[in-house]
Amino acid sequence: MGTVTSIVVLFVCWTIRDSVKMKDIPEKHVFITGCDSGFGNLLAQRLHRKGFIVIAACLTEKGCQDLKACTSPTLKTVLLNVTNPKSIDSAVEYVTAETGNKGLYGLVNNAGRATPIGPTDWLDMEDFHRVLDVNLIGLIEVTLKFLPLLKKARGRIVNVASVMGRLAFGGGGYSLSKCGVESFSDSLRRDMQHFGVKVSIIEPGFFKTGVTSLEIIEKDLHRLWDRLTPDIRCSYGDKYFQNYLKVQRLSMKTLCSTDISKVTNCMEHALIARYPRTRYGAGWDAKLFWLPLSYAPAFIADIMLQLLLPRPICSKRSLAKNQVDV
pLDDT in tens, 311-322: 898 765 544 444
Beta pairing class for 198-204 and 156-160: parallel
Using one digit for the tens of pLDDT, what is the confidence trace for 173-199?
999 999 999 999 999 999 999 999 999
Euclidean distance between CA atoms 208 and 255, whole angstroms = 9
Mean pLDDT score, 12-35: 86
What is the pLDDT, as a whole number, of residue 1? Answer: 67
What is the pLDDT, as a whole number, of residue 143? Answer: 98
Do 177 and 211 contact (CB within 8 A), yes or no?
no
The chain-wide mean pLDDT, for the chain, equals 91
Tell whether domain 23-208+258-310 is in CATH 3.40.50.720: yes
What is the pLDDT, as a whole number, of residue 73? Answer: 87
Mean pLDDT score, 292-312: 90
What is the pLDDT, as a whole number, of residue 15? Answer: 84
204 phi/psi in degrees, rounded to 5: -70, 150
Active site residue 174: yes
Mean pLDDT score, 90-111: 96
Burial class (CB within 10 angstroms; exposed 0-12, middle 13-18, buried 19+) of 35: buried
What is the pLDDT, as a whole number, of residue 320? Answer: 47
Tell me how far the alpha carbon of residue 88 is from its chain's centroid. Answer: 19
Mean pLDDT score, 36-63: 95
Q: How confident is the model at residue 77 (pLDDT cuts 50, 70, 90)?
A: very high
Euclidean distance between CA atoms 278 and 136, whole angstroms = 19
pTM: predicted TM-score of the whole model, two decimal places: 0.91
Q: Is a pLDDT exceeding 70 seen at residue 326?
A: no
Mean pLDDT score, 67-83: 94
Euclidean distance between CA atoms 251 and 242, whole angstroms = 14
The residue ranking higher by pLDDT, 107 or 100, is 107
Side-chain-side CA neighbours of 306 within 13 Å: the count stands at 10
Q: How confident is the model at residue 215 (pLDDT cuts 50, 70, 90)?
A: confident
CB-based burial, 292-312: b 16+ in 10 Å, e otherwise: ebbeeeeeebeeeeeeeebbb
Residue type, 194: H
The DSSP-derived string for 286-321 is IIIIIHHHHTS-HHHHHHHHHHHS---TTSHHHHHH
Q: Is a pLDDT exceeding 70 seen at residue 282?
A: yes
Tell me how far the alpha carbon of residue 157 is from its chain's centroid. Answer: 14
What is the pLDDT, as a whole number, of residue 9? Answer: 79
Of 17-21, 110-114, 295-299, the range with the lowest mean pLDDT is 17-21
Q: Which of 143-147, 215-219, 248-252: highest mean pLDDT?
A: 143-147
Please, what is the Cα angle at 189 between 285 and 294, to 5 degrees?
30
Do 57 and 138 contact (CB within 8 A), yes or no?
no
The residue ranking higher by pLDDT, 264 or 322, is 264
Q: Is a pLDDT exceeding 50 seen at residue 324?
A: no
CA distances from 82 to 33, 57, 106, 133, 209 (A): 8, 10, 17, 8, 19
Set 174, 236, 240, 280: catalytic member: 174
Q: Tell me the Ramachandran region of residue 71: left when phi exceeds 0, alpha when psi lies from -120 to 50, beta otherwise.
A: beta
Do 61 and 83 contact (CB within 8 A), yes or no?
no
Euclidean distance between CA atoms 104 and 150, whole angstroms = 5
Of 14-23, 43-52, 194-203, the range with the lowest mean pLDDT is 14-23
